[in-house]
Structure 1
Amino acid sequence: MEEKKLDINSIIGFVLIFGILIFMFYQNRPTPEELEAEKVKQEQVESQNTTEQRTQNSTPVTVPVVNLQDSTAVANYQNSLGAFGFTKPSDGNTTLENGILQLIISNKGGQIVEAKMMQFNTYDSVPVYLIKDGNASFGLTFSTSDNRTLNTNDLYFEPSLSKNGDNQVLSMKAKIAPNEFLEYRYEMKPDEYMVDFTLRSQGLNGVIKGDKPINLEWFLKGIRHSKSVKYENRYTEMMYNYEDGKIDYLSANGDDDDIEEDVKWLSLKQHFFTSILATKKNFKTANISTTNLVEEESKDVKFTKDFNASIPLALEGGEISENLNWYYGPTDITELKKYDQYELEDTIYWGWGIFGWINRYVFTPFYTFLSNFLPAGIAIILMTIIVRLAMSPVTYKSYLSQAKMKVLKPEITELSEKYKDNAMKKQQETMKLYGKAGVSPMSGCVPALLQMPIFYALFMFFPTSFALRQKSFLWADDLSSYDAIFEWTTHIPVISTFYGNHMSLFPILASIAIFFYMMMTTGQNMPQQPGMPNMKFIMYLMPFMMLIFFNNYASGLSLYYFISNLITIGIMLVIKNVIIDNDKIHAQIQENKKKPKKENKFQKKMREMMEQAEEQKKLGKK
């Protein structure tokens, strides 16, 4: 990666950083040893992972690592499997590749030992791997008729590579005889991240003990791909489709486990990439768990979470038969929508309720459209402008309410002084004044509430949008990550924990913009009332909290808030100086006060309740 040099943008960043600081108060085991020979490397790694991953339900036979040059060791391997002479050990791998995805399948275990994204790199320019160096394991455990428990990870499979039209087909068979075997069949299609995967046995109904469960065991340790491991880990989680279309997930914030029924797919999501196991006939149950591996922000942390799934399978006529699919690829809505039979786009967390709906059906397609012909940063700015203009009527309503309240402030102050010893009476008279003038103190809050779905939807859009990944803008190398203009290695207590070991520029700019916005809207009209917190302190606290919180967030999100607040400030200046006339507002309020005001049921009920309370207060004094 090209080293970042100081330029005018960085200099501006330094000036803003130090200015705002003055102004605002201020984590697989030990690494596996090198294997003695390259040909047994995968065996050693798989053996280590097998030991680590077994769940409580699994009691596998311990099969020694086989030296393929030692005929005695080979014989011992077959003898260790009892009367069943499965395939003679033969080390080796087979590669499937289609231009966008490369899978390496090992003879030992017949499983995928490497899955590489061929068109994507990590933050440090290394290809993105979802499986590599033994971080994942997949196999079946089952009991045999002589009461042993076998795990397919310990078996050797014979590979056979062929073509089915344009598709590559790899058959991996662990054989007892030519017509008695366990087969893993992989079929890779051109330019697709999804691979057809079939599990089946033939002639093993006398080998597999049918009265005990067959467990599919899947383990994966998430490999770090992003600059900030804590930020990536926040969006690394196990999601699943169950019970006829329900979508749920295990906690991304810590260790979690569950047992689910009628499972359609499991997605081990690593922020912008995911490993998915899907089934055409649904798993009856799945025992799933996740373990958090990240304790603090550090460049030395290589993994994010441990994912485990244990799934019991049913025999069909005494044989194994499962039609599955593997998906190794990006959490890109464009790619995931290709597999609508599984509805894999639900593996993206859009947000809850209406917020997710807005994110999924409004902002995602809208930004995708803009980014088709505009650079990523410009597309964000244009989207921000359009969103703010669309919300300008709401901004107008909010400012108009503030202007009306400002006009009424002298009269409200007069009532406060007149009834300073009678809080109930003061409240009654104030409400009467609001009613006569046609002003509601809640009218300024309603526009803000209307903007909340937009705010939260965008808050989820920027961190989860694959379209932003590794897209640059100005000094930001990656709009889906933080835009550091200064970094340090020294761990500073509290600061490193909450702020990080870097300074990001866009959050600083966004904090400054929101500060001036709050100054314009509430800074001059924040009354200090007894028993209430210092509202001006809150006005300073909000930009400060944004500065801290957004320092590790996607720079695209901070860019949005920066531009959004600038536009809002501009709109409000136009409203204040061009559209709204305070004298006309005052005259209109006076006219409204002369007109008879009919109370609605709510107002009448509130007035009666307050009068009753006042009357009871008087009686209590007698």
Structure 2
Amino acid sequence: MEEKKFDLNSIIGFVLLFGILFWIMYQNQPTAEQLAAEKAKKELAQKQAKQASKVVAPITETTLTTADSTELNALKSTMGAFAYSATLPSAKEQVTTLENNLLRLKISNKGGYITEAVLKNHERLKKGSGQLVTLIRNNNSQLSLSLKTQDNRLLQTEDLFFEPNLTKSGEDQILTLRLKTAADAYLEYRYVLKPNNYMLDFDVRSQGLSKVLNTAQPIDMQWDMQTYCNEKSVGYENRYTDIRFEYEDGKDDYTGQGKDSEESPNKVSFIAFKQHFFSTILLTKSPFEKAKLYSDNLVQDEEIDTLVTKQFKATIPLAFHGGELNNQMNLYLGPTDYATLKAYDRNLDKIIPLGWGIFGWINKFIFIPLFGFLSSFIAYGIAIIVFTIIIKIAMSPITYKSFLSQAKMKVLRPEINELSEKFKKDPLKKQQETMKLYNKAGVSPLAGCIPALIQLPFMYASFQFFPSAFELRQKSFLWADDLSSFDQIAQLPFHIPLYGSHISLFPILAAIAIFFYMKMTSGDQQMAAPQQEGMPDMTKIMKMMIYISPVMMLIFFNSYGAGLSLYNFISNLITIGIMFVIKKYIVDPEKIHAQIQENKLKEPKKQGRFQQKLQQMMEEAEAQKAQQKKK
């Protein structure tokens, strides 16, 4: 019985497929830096416990007046010229609320920054939890200016009291907060919240402070945030949480996932403290000359660190112009949703990792429009299935060409075996004769590999698209209550490294499908070239891959979003069906054999450049070998 062997083209395709799969998984896995020593874990746990125990101090109605002489004198000694603000009625910790149908913001007199930002239409963890997504709360975020005075004092605005003034212009809510040195000299924060909008205007300007502040050098604006967990999978959310920024007229980059990551871009137009599905973004209408960005991963153990994911810091110098500050900015606090961000026409959609080059183009111009159209009138789970069917049907001609090439190679296999036996002592001659046989028969050994390569960008694009699809968040399908997170069907009483402490069903189904797909390709499409001396036995390798691939699918996809696992399951099922139909009803080996024999009688097809170059290299190698024998 003739030994079965796997097609070289299929081997190349599978190696590339799994190479890209492993690379994708490696990119998305926590880095070695994230797996810190036990001591670091304990310290972090203590740190987070302390953070969790913090409670916003209750608003006090006690006004600091001249009667409070002791406190007033203390403030004057530390605040210098800004002690004037401490004598105002607003010198107390109270908040002003700005609210529209999407956002509720609370802004404190002390520091003049947002102390609470609630997204009114989005829930934490799971649908029906009753907990709204709150990007800012419990002092997890601060924005402060470092003010250098003429008498060499260094003051932080987070410690100083602003005087608020809330007005309306039509439906716009305008909050002006002034930190005064006198009635007509102040530092001003101005917030404008418009209806039906996640973005608000945020301006920082000064008036009459040139005699108080040292305006020879820029002042630093420090913006910090610890990002709270909003999804049920801490590790999955953390993989997509980082600082994204745009700089130098349209370039974009990010800080990375590890500990103590830093970037120092110039000409910065926005800085995004991006979480998986929600982001806080600072934009400027005139680019910041430079910025220093810092990101620190706070998740060392997903079983313990369940409160916060990252520590973000941005230090931005604000320059004086004519002795005054005048910075027009915006703040975005909302979903990391492609359609929502793109609608602002400020390049904010760049913060969503859709992939570079052709992968990003496939997502932007094919996947996003097609899935958006389908999900506009059918349920999201059904939309994923229909989406997958359309993509696979569109790719079916490529699948057909690949299978046809493999069938032709199978027909030629007996003749290739004869050449291998005839020239077994002269591998170079064997290769030359094999190439001549391919040319006469009109068969290209690369014809089966190229279609597989064409499909790879679509596979990689899907790995970027589904984890970034905000519209899948908290959308249910069958047993999955959230297509953007894992579809748990059982909780394990223990934790398995890499796998987790739960069992997801869609990855199991996808693993079964890929097992039968590889079984089909390794069992029915055995048309590879004969085993080469000194080369590994590809048959054994592929038999191992039949079992390794499903296991890898189970391990890596167990904590991935159910939407991606569903896509892979349906994709493999459809591929199996298409290959079955092609083999059973379309490709006829006898007709292929007759066509090849007919091609042999015709004038050999003109070789392509690659074949000509390969033939030339073989002839040169043969000539060198003959020359060496003469010597």
Give TM-score scaled by structure 1 length.
0.87
Cα distance in 1 between the residues matched to 2:602 and 2:60: 93
Match of 1:39 in 2: 59
Match of 2:123 in 1: 121
2:329 is matched by which residue type in structure 1?
A: L
Secondary structure class of the residue paired with 1:546: helix
Match of 1:56 in 2: none
Match of 2:102 in 1: 100
Question: What pairs up with 1:51-130 in 2 under 5 angstroms?
Answer: 71-88=69-86, 89-124=91-126, 125=129, 126-130=131-135
Contact 2:81 2:181 (C-alpha < 8 Å) held by counterparts: no
Cα distance in 2 between the residues matched to 1:379 and 1:182: 52
For 1:359, which of 363, 367, 375 is the aligned residue?
A: 363
Contact 1:397 1:447 (C-alpha < 8 Å) held by counterparts: yes
Match of 1:246 in 2: 251
Deviations 1:63-84 (A, max 9, x none): xxx9999542233112221244
Matched, 1:445 2:449: yes
Deviations 1:368-387 (A, max 9, x none): 11111100000000011111
Matched, 1:465 2:485: no
Secondary structure class of the residue paired with 1:130: strand
Match of 2:179 in 1: 174
Question: What pairs up with 1:534-545 in 2 under 5 angstroms?
Answer: 534-545=541-552
Match of 1:58 in 2: none
Secondary structure class of the residue paired with 1:478: coil
Moved more, 376-385 or 165-174: 165-174
Match of 2:620 in 1: 612
- Distance verdict in 2 for CA 1:595–1:133, change over 3 Å: same
Match of 1:230 in 2: 235
Question: What pairs up with 1:212-361 in 2 under 5 angstroms?
Answer: 212-298=217-303, 300-340=305-345, 342-361=346-365
Secondary structure class of the residue paired with 1:91: coil
Cα distance in 2 between the residues matched to 1:294 and 1:102: 29
Match of 1:509 in 2: 509
Deviations 1:96-132 (A, max 9, x none): 1102111111111010011111110111422111111
Matched, 1:141 2:160: no
Taking only aligned residues, the RMSD between alpha carbons, in angstroms, comes to 2.2
For 2:195, which of 174, 190, 193 is the aligned residue?
A: 190
Cα distance in 2 between the residues matched to 1:231 and 1:517: 28
2:294 is matched by which residue type in structure 1?
A: S
1:359 Cα offset (Å): 0.4
Greater RCO (CA < 8 Å, at least 6 residues apart) = 2
Cα distance in 1 between the residues matched to 2:117 and 2:65: 26
1:184 Cα offset (Å): 0.9
Contact 1:86 1:155 (C-alpha < 8 Å) held by counterparts: no
- Distance verdict in 2 for CA 1:354–1:501, change over 3 Å: same
Moved more, 446-455 or 409-418: 409-418
Cα distance in 1 between the residues matched to 2:604 and 2:487: 56
Match of 1:555 in 2: 562
Deviations 1:242-293 (A, max 9, x none): 1111111111344311111111111110011100000111111111111111
- Distance verdict in 2 for CA 1:602–1:110, change over 3 Å: closer
Secondary structure class of the residue paired with 1:85: helix
Contact 1:523 1:539 (C-alpha < 8 Å) held by counterparts: no
- Distance verdict in 2 for CA 1:363–1:225, change over 3 Å: same
Match of 1:59 in 2: none
Cα distance in 2 between the residues matched to 1:277 and 1:179: 29
1:536 is matched by which residue type in structure 2?
A: K
Match of 1:406 in 2: 410
- Distance verdict in 2 for CA 1:572–1:78, change over 3 Å: same
Contact 1:67 1:73 (C-alpha < 8 Å) held by counterparts: no
For 1:576, which of 566, 583, 595 is the aligned residue?
A: 583
Moved more, 521-530 or 227-236: 521-530
Matched, 1:591 2:598: yes
1:606 Cα offset (Å): 2.4
Moved more, 283-292 or 419-428: 419-428
For 2:209, which of 197, 204, 208 is the aligned residue?
A: 204
1:195 Cα offset (Å): 0.6
- Distance verdict in 2 for CA 1:614–1:36, change over 3 Å: closer
Structure 1: gaps of 5 or more residues: 1-26, 44-65
Matched, 1:376 2:380: yes
Contact 1:68 1:90 (C-alpha < 8 Å) held by counterparts: no
Secondary structure class of the residue paired with 2:303: coil
- Give aligned pairs, total: 568
Match of 1:156 in 2: 161
1:200 is matched by which residue type in structure 2?
A: R
Secondary structure class of the residue paired with 1:208: coil
Matched, 1:392 2:396: yes
Structure 2: gaps of 5 or more residues: 1-40, 42-46
For 1:485, which of 469, 489, 493 is the aligned residue?
A: 489
Secondary structure class of the residue paired with 1:604: helix
Secondary structure class of the residue paired with 1:552: coil
Secondary structure class of the residue paired with 2:216: coil
Contact 2:48 2:308 (C-alpha < 8 Å) held by counterparts: no
1:30 Cα offset (Å): 4.4
Cα distance in 2 between the residues matched to 1:619 and 1:248: 56
Deviations 1:460-518 (A, max 9, x none): 00000111111111111111111111122423xxxx33111111111111111112112
Secondary structure class of the residue paired with 1:458: helix
Deviations 1:421-479 (A, max 9, x none): 22112212221211111111111111111111111111100000111111111111111
